[in-house]
A = this chain, B = another copy of it.
């Protein structure tokens, strides 16, 4: 009498996902993970979904898809000023998905787990008649009372952003072959966001979020939470050489396209110097002003740049 065999699903999980499991994950062999939360810290939790054909292109390399999934969630922690702890993930994939896809997907996660110091805690793998559908829940921690919120800006605050803007949205168009991207820089930025962990720090940043729906819309979130307006100076937008080469046509995409995953932050003027002392470049692109929750963009001579309302929405 030999032990009963296990179906293929368990083999797939054991080969590809179990090596990613960390402390508390119980080798992914139980119904749940068990972990002792770091004492004296608050938990910070967020979840994001990514769907093939919506958030990534069907031909995107699976390792980059996996890393983007993890990084968009890490970006949420970065916006809250939190440190990452671990993650749970569900993967729904067509039954015909080749084993090599899962292997590459897991390899991407392994790479970023090492880079960001997180491990897989649990999840689920299922089939789907539709495109690959991914969901990831990130767990992090922050000192009690030190989470950075979207609310907290006030008139007179400076508006800072990390890195460069517009590369994500332009990169999507580059990946689709719609615009020139000779060295592939933009497409890489679309496929692999850089979560800006450690930049938004309590006591320095008054309010923050990550720019995922488009700069104007996301700064609008900070305005609505604070009950004030904001003015953005188009000439001060930090742009990569690749994005700058696409001006002036690219300006609307830079202002309203999504997928940047840079941080937008409200900072009291007296804290600006401390913020500039970050590992990541930060740029002041405007300020918060008295008035309704409107975001105006002005060019170098002060003329308002017309911006179509809103950013990306999944539902019309």
Interfacial chain B residues near A220, Cβ < 8 Å: 4, 6
Whether A57 is near chain B, meaning CB under 8 Å from some CB there, is: no
Tell me whether A26 and B149 are in contact (CB under 8 A). yes
Please give, as numbers and ranges, the residues of chain B lying within 8 Å of A124 by CB-CB distance.
47-49, 135
Whether the pair B44, A140 counts as a contact (CB closer than 8 A) is no
Q: List 7 A-B contacts (CB under 8 A).
A: A2-B294, A7-B312, A30-B209, A47-B90, A49-B91, A51-B128, A88-B137
Enumerate chain B residues within 8 angstroms of A92, measured Cβ to Cβ: 49, 51, 54, 133
How many residues does chain A have at the interface if contact means C-beta atoms less than 8 Å apart?
Answer: 92
Contact between A2 and B34, CB atoms less than 8 A apart = no
Residues on B with C-beta less than 8 A from A89 are 47
**Whole-angstrom distance from the CB of A227 to the nearest CB of chain B?**
10
A309 at the interface (CB under 8 A from B): yes
A248 sits at the interface (CB 8 A)? no
* Cβ-closest chain B residue relative to A210: B31
Given contacts A4-B294, A127-B315, contact A35 B43 (CB under 8 A): yes
Whether B95 contacts A314 by the Cβ 8 Å rule is: yes
A-to-B contact residues, CB < 8 Å: 1-10, 12, 26, 29-37, 42-51, 53-55, 75-77, 79-80, 82, 88-92, 95, 97, 121-131, 133, 135, 137-140, 142, 144, 147, 149-151, 209-210, 216-217, 220-221, 223-225, 291-295, 309-316
CB of A93, distance to nearest CB on chain B (Å) = 8
A240 to chain B: closest CB distance in Å? 24
Chain B residues in 8 Å Cβ range of A225: 29
Residues of B within 8 A of A210 (CB): 31
Whether B130 contacts A128 by the Cβ 8 Å rule is: yes
- Beyond A4-B309, A10-B313, A33-B45, 12 additional contacts (C-beta under 8 Å) are A6-B310, A26-B149, A31-B209, A32-B140, A34-B43, A46-B122, A51-B129, A53-B129, A95-B316, A125-B315, A130-B130, A137-B137
Contact: A150 with B54, CB < 8 Å? no
* A45, B37: Cα distance in complex, Å: 11
Let me know if B4 and A135 touch, CB within 8 A: no
